[in-house]
Chain A
Amino acid sequence: MAIAEEPTGHVMGHAMKRKEDPRFITGQGRYLDDIVLPRMLYMAIVHSPYAHARIKSIDASAALQLPGVHLVLTGADLDQMGLGWMPTMAGDREMTLAVGKVLYQYQEVAVVLAESRALAEDAAQLVEVEYEPLPVIVDPFESMKPDAPVLREDREQKDNHVFHWEVGDRTATEQLLRSCDVVVRQKVRFQRIHPAPLEPCGCIADFNKATGRLTLYMTSQAPHAHRTVFSMVTGIPEQNIHIISPDVGGGFGNKVPIYPGYVAAIVASLKLGRPVKWVETRTENLTETAFARDYHMEAELGATKDGVVQALKVKTIADHGAFDAAADPSKFPAGLFSICTGSYDFPNAFAEVDAFYTNKTPGGIAYRCSFRVTEASYLIERTMDVLADELGMDPAELRLKNFVPPEKFPYHSALGWTYDSGRYAETLKKALERFDYTKRRQEQDERRRKGELVGIGLSTFTEVVGAGPSQTFDIMGIKMFDSAEIRVHPTGSAIVRAGTRHQGQGHETTWAQIVGEELGLDPQNILVEEGDTDTAPYGLGTYASRSTPTAGAAIAMAARRIREKAQKIAAYLLEVSEEDLEWRDQKFQVRGVPSKAVTMQEIAFAAYTNLPEGMEPGLEATYYYDPPNLTFPNGAYLCQVSIDKGTGEVKVEKFLAVDDCGNVINPMIVEGQIHGGLTEGFAIAFMQEIVYDEDGNHLATNFSDYLVPTAWEAPDWETDRTVTPSPHHPIGAKGVGESPNVGSPAAFVNAVIDALSPLGIRHIDMPLTREKIWRALREHGIEE
């Protein structure tokens, strides 16, 4: 019998190497496409070449004649089964396969099932579809016009308006704005982008006619929620759906929604009684699965003449594409966009969002973002710089003047949030010092005098993550709690299961560290398992930086339940009363007598071998954690850039990120998350956009047009942190995975605009391509 080693002390807060890594570094990870089942068929999709067209006919006969082709399914076939449409998380519905017409280019029109991938593609080429093109709308400002063609003929409402949402006091905000000394207005667009994890989406649907069970291997960030939805959509009883989300090669929100490909694969497996594999091509990933952002925002910010902010009014037009497939909590059609007052103490604010349909891919998902928080942070951080420019004030000074002060926490924001904790000035001051801000500003002056274009940008964002408290947060009615189950084995090792599903975040390590810390067990002997709906307790999954705030808390609470029982066993083993014991140095010891102690390992053994009379054997607990509030991580990011006057090329000369995500479970992992998110933020600021031409042609259909930075383009990152624990979280932690992606775009853009500010330039929309900067330079008479 292998006996677990005694732990050496605290494990929280340590840079423990990741337990999941040995399999990944040796190529032994098991991702979706690595799984092969007997008699498995492959599915290929027939896509629409048009952005808007009526389907006049579909002829699959040539495809079906190819030997090895088993089935072609169209929207009409699915419609007959009641599956032509499926609900979206946002309360809209979307076509599974095109029914009657297509609403965006690359929309799924039919699927082909064949013996091999190549054969399925051969056959897909042979499916003849006749289209009648219809007028195309790619711009929400066109879509909102009263005479615009109605895209969604299936709706009762005969226009293209999806929803109106507003929050705050419009009248008071407008009044206050009128009386402000200074009011700045800025239009800011957050372009359409895509999460594009390196592993695309896919599934293997394996319906067993004999057992009536559907086993679905699926690249899923939220397997339980998906099980419930599949059960509701297909009518298969929930106990008969088993979802396994194997190793996931990155998600970033891409693997939260349910896509037509999954449903089509399930239907095909039901029909054929054989396993069906569908793995997206990169083109399918970029053109069919949900995009993020696409917000056209306008801010009006009022302040006193010495720079104290007074009121913020925001109007946003959202482009949701052909269906509202946003992955937001049900009561939040614009996500948590109302965090747009950021880190600043606004007495009054008002925000509204109007969403419209266009002939583009549906979506509006939270790409590395807690539901529209990235848009909000970018807007406020950009607008604060516009105000600083208007006032001729240093942007750092303006921010320090307006931060919510520490004594105001818990802070009730004008738009309804209760911020848990933060020491914003301290975080910024630390960043300024480490960045050598004053000296760099002096150097900037000198270099400017020599004719160089140099800029320094800041972003001091506040995020809201960890959805969420059950009174307000649900997805399709399911409350957004999360869960954990811990079983301690007789030898003092344990298994932990959670309702979350990591995709690189390191849960197999950090969850073990939490349990190790709470129970005094060696995290090396704690196995973490996620992603199997038959074994894990029900949870809502991993996205929106919610895992640590919810499941992390559930794990700590479950461990504490175990400790309560352990204390009783310890009292019995030490022959003292429970009250005489204290949990100290990760043991139960008799108060004042350190030599009289038992370890959790000894207690675990006793829980199965030597129990007080009448006590239920075993040592395990389950906890469903309903968070009392969200958590509010913050950060101060500083960026320095220089610009090539000839080509418009921007060089990031230095970037520092100081984050505050409360107590840190594993600093190495947190740092890694920051590096990754900053690199994505960099890509968004400078390189990435899903562009459509006026005919609705998607112009970023693969990695040669949707640009992912390599090690060569990615800047070097410096990181640091302050620690302001969340007062309501059991271990004082906040979410962090998304902060760098939320906070950094504004820092990059602010730095570039700062470099251009001597020319009187106040704003350029992302991505800041060389050409946009070149254009700005030439318009202002700057040439090489």
Chain B
Amino acid sequence: MFPAPFEYVSAHSLDEALEVLESRAGEAKVLAGGQSLIPMMRFRLAQPQVLVDINPIKLLEDLHEQDDALHIGALARHATLEFSPLIQQRYPLIADVSRVVADPTVRNLGTLVGSLCHADPAGDFGSAALAAGAEVIITSSRQHRSLPVDAFFLDTFSTALEEDEIVTEVRWPKPKPRSAGAYLKIERKVGDFAIVGTAVQMALDEGGRIAEAGIGLCAVGPISLRAKQAERLLVGQSPSAELFQEVARQAARESDPTSDTRGSKEYKQDMVRVLTLRALQRAYQRIQAA
């Protein structure tokens, strides 16, 4: 299956890319890892007239900690995250996702930023970014701006990005003391999108109570969801089996899945409960182990 014809631009600098996006607004699309866009083009579900390939812009491969955030450049591949010692040691939530997103070969090209821009509610990184409270850094020839990821997802396959904008990086909060995260996904096989995925990030205060909590849900709504009420139940409490169970039930109530070939609404809702419970337990164990 072959894409419809298009024009191709190999952008060697951000300015070059932005220039094309501005002059061909509405017709041009950014090509990052291509692991979502090219399959869509092969099925002719996407037929952009111009592809702006940002892969030659080495600057965007950036992955480093600075100030209070981890900077994840637009070309940081899933596999780079998967094998990064920094991620493995300090960002268990990202590490978890990077082992279950797509398959190992697709991970060599696919990017976290591309994944967020694609805004597939079944994208694993969307829910993780929500749980972690990540920030999206956006630029165009007109302006620079940043958005909390909560404000970034608008609808299925739709984001707050304007047609001439590029996401240059995502800033992921640095781990606080006594914090950890976890991501759990059930999928039918490797390379499948989630039946359900749950991301949890939490930090304890010095007294052992939960100071901050984030819960993101994957594939159970029109966009990646945050289980806000469930999060609220956690904050200020001491971790306990009963608390986690209650929170898991609440997360399930906040999910809004639809029935499809991956499973019925009921099943998915119950899986939100099961996975949230397990992810909370795992994150808490990780805090204790550290």
A residues near B (Cβ < 8 Å) are: 117-118, 121-122, 125, 281, 283, 646-647, 649, 687, 691, 699-700, 704-705, 707-710, 712-713, 769-771, 774-775, 778, 784
Shortest Cβ distance from B81 into chain A, in angstroms? Answer: 19
Chain B contacts for A125, CB-based, 8 A? 4, 44
Contact B263 A647 (CB under 8 A): no
Chain A contacts for B60, CB-based, 8 A? none
Interface of B (DSSP majority class): loop
Contact A710 B191 (CB under 8 A): yes
In the complex, which residues 236-290 of chain B have their Cβ closer than 8 Å to any Cβ of chain A? 261, 263-264, 267, 270-271, 274-275, 277-278
Most A CB contacts (10 A, CB to CB) among B5, B270, B275, B277 go to B270
Q: How far is the CA of A279 from the CA of B171 in the complex (A)?
A: 46
Contact A647 B264 (CB under 8 A): no
Chain A contacts for B271, CB-based, 8 A? 647
Contact B274 A707 (CB under 8 A): no
Residue of B nearest to A703 (CB): B191
Chain A contacts for B264, CB-based, 8 A? 771
Contact A705 B261 (CB under 8 A): yes
In the complex, which residues 181-239 of chain B have their Cβ closer than 8 Å to any Cβ of chain A? 186, 188-193, 195
Query: A118-B2, A707-B188 known; A699 and B277 CB under 8 Å?
Result: no
Contact B192 A117 (CB under 8 A): no
> Can you identify 26 A-B contacts, CB atoms within 8 angstroms?
A117-B2, A118-B2, A121-B1, A121-B2, A122-B5, A125-B44, A283-B1, A646-B274, A646-B278, A647-B271, A647-B274, A647-B275, A687-B188, A691-B261, A699-B261, A707-B189, A710-B189, A710-B190, A710-B191, A712-B190, A713-B190, A769-B188, A770-B263, A770-B267, A771-B263, A774-B267
Chain A contacts for B190, CB-based, 8 A? 710, 712-713
Query: A121-B2, A646-B278, A775-B267 known; A770 and B186 CB under 8 Å?
Result: yes
Most A CB contacts (10 A, CB to CB) among B2, B5, B186, B190 go to B2
Contact B278 A687 (CB under 8 A): no
Contact A709 B189 (CB under 8 A): yes
Interface residue? B53 (CB, 8 A):
no
Chain A contacts for B4, CB-based, 8 A? 122, 125
Most B CB contacts (10 A, CB to CB) among A118, A647, A713, A774 go to A647
Most A CB contacts (10 A, CB to CB) among B2, B186, B189, B192 go to B189
Query: A646-B278, A771-B264, A778-B270 known; A713 and B189 CB under 8 Å?
Result: yes
Contact B2 A687 (CB under 8 A): no
Chain B contacts for A709, CB-based, 8 A? 189
Q: How far is the CA of A146 from the CA of B262 in the complex (A)?
A: 35
Interface residue? B103 (CB, 8 A):
yes
Chain B contacts for A122, CB-based, 8 A? 4-5
In the complex, which residues 1-42 of chain B have their Cβ closer than 8 Å to any Cβ of chain A? 1-5
Q: How far is the CA of A219 from the CA of B2 in the complex (A)?
A: 22
Residue pairs across A and B with CB atoms within 8 Å: the count is: 56
Contact A281 B274 (CB under 8 A): no
Residue of B nearest to A778 (CB): B270
Contact A687 B263 (CB under 8 A): no
Q: How far is the CA of A769 from the CA of B188 in the complex (A)?
A: 8
Chain B contacts for A784, CB-based, 8 A? 274, 277
Shortest Cβ distance from A524 into chain B, in angstroms? Answer: 37
Q: How far is the CA of A118 from the CA of B2 in the complex (A)?
A: 5
Shortest Cβ distance from B40 into chain A, in angstroms? Answer: 12
B residues near A (Cβ < 8 Å) are: 1-5, 44, 103, 186, 188-193, 195, 261, 263-264, 267, 270-271, 274-275, 277-278
Top 5 nearest A-B pairs (CB, nearest first) are A118-B2, A646-B274, A771-B267, A712-B190, A710-B190
Chain A contacts for B261, CB-based, 8 A? 691, 699-700, 705
Residue of B nearest to A645 (CB): B274
Chain A contacts for B1, CB-based, 8 A? 121, 281, 283
Q: How far is the CA of A784 from the CA of B277 in the complex (A)?
A: 10
Q: How far is the CA of A710 from the CA of B188 in the complex (A)?
A: 11
Residue of A nearest to B195 (CB): A770
Q: How far is the CA of A710 from the CA of B187 in the complex (A)?
A: 13
Shortest Cβ distance from A532 into chain B, in angstroms? Answer: 31
Contact A707 B192 (CB under 8 A): yes
Shortest Cβ distance from A645 into chain B, in angstroms? Answer: 9
Chain B contacts for A646, CB-based, 8 A? 274, 278
Contact B189 A774 (CB under 8 A): no
Residue of A nearest to B193 (CB): A704
Known: A122-B5, A770-B195, A775-B267. 5 other contacts (CB 8 A): A117-B2, A121-B1, A691-B261, A709-B189, A778-B270
Q: How far is the CA of A707 from the CA of B191 in the complex (A)?
A: 10
Q: How far is the CA of A784 from the CA of B278 in the complex (A)?
A: 10
Shortest Cβ distance from B247 into chain A, in angstroms? Answer: 15
Residue of A nearest to B262 (CB): A771
Most A CB contacts (10 A, CB to CB) among B5, B188, B193, B275 go to B188
Q: How far is the CA of A283 from the CA of B275 in the complex (A)?
A: 33
Q: How far is the CA of A281 from the CA of B42 in the complex (A)?
A: 11
Chain B contacts for A708, CB-based, 8 A? 189
Chain A contacts for B278, CB-based, 8 A? 646
Shortest Cβ distance from A641 into chain B, in angstroms? Answer: 17
Shortest Cβ distance from A22 into chain B, in angstroms? Answer: 26
Residue of A nearest to B184 (CB): A647
Shortest Cβ distance from B25 into chain A, in angstroms? Answer: 26
Shortest Cβ distance from B283 into chain A, in angstroms? Answer: 17
Shortest Cβ distance from A187 into chain B, in angstroms? Answer: 22
Shortest Cβ distance from B107 into chain A, in angstroms? Answer: 14
Q: How far is the CA of A700 from the CA of B260 in the complex (A)?
A: 12
Chain B contacts for A778, CB-based, 8 A? 270
Residue of A nearest to B188 (CB): A707
Residue of B nearest to A281 (CB): B1
Chain A contacts for B3, CB-based, 8 A? 118
Chain B contacts for A687, CB-based, 8 A? 188-189
Q: How far is the CA of A709 from the CA of B188 in the complex (A)?
A: 9
Q: How far is the CA of A281 from the CA of B1 in the complex (A)?
A: 7
Chain A contacts for B186, CB-based, 8 A? 647, 649, 770
Chain B contacts for A771, CB-based, 8 A? 263-264, 267
Chain A contacts for B189, CB-based, 8 A? 687, 707-710, 712-713
Among B2, B103, B270, point to the contact of A710 (Cβ < 8 A): B103
Q: How far is the CA of A726 from the CA of B267 in the complex (A)?
A: 50
Shortest Cβ distance from B6 into chain A, in angstroms? Answer: 12
Most B CB contacts (10 A, CB to CB) among A691, A709, A713, A770 go to A770
Q: How far is the CA of A708 from the CA of B190 in the complex (A)?
A: 10
Shortest Cβ distance from B205 into chain A, in angstroms? Answer: 29
Q: How far is the CA of A775 from the CA of B188 in the complex (A)?
A: 17
Q: How far is the CA of A699 from the CA of B274 in the complex (A)?
A: 27
Chain A contacts for B193, CB-based, 8 A? 704
Chain A contacts for B267, CB-based, 8 A? 770-771, 774-775
Shortest Cβ distance from A433 into chain B, in angstroms? Answer: 34
Shortest Cβ distance from B219 into chain A, in angstroms? Answer: 14
Chain B contacts for A774, CB-based, 8 A? 267, 270
Q: How far is the CA of A588 from the CA of B5 in the complex (A)?
A: 70
Shortest Cβ distance from A4 into chain B, in angstroms? Answer: 44
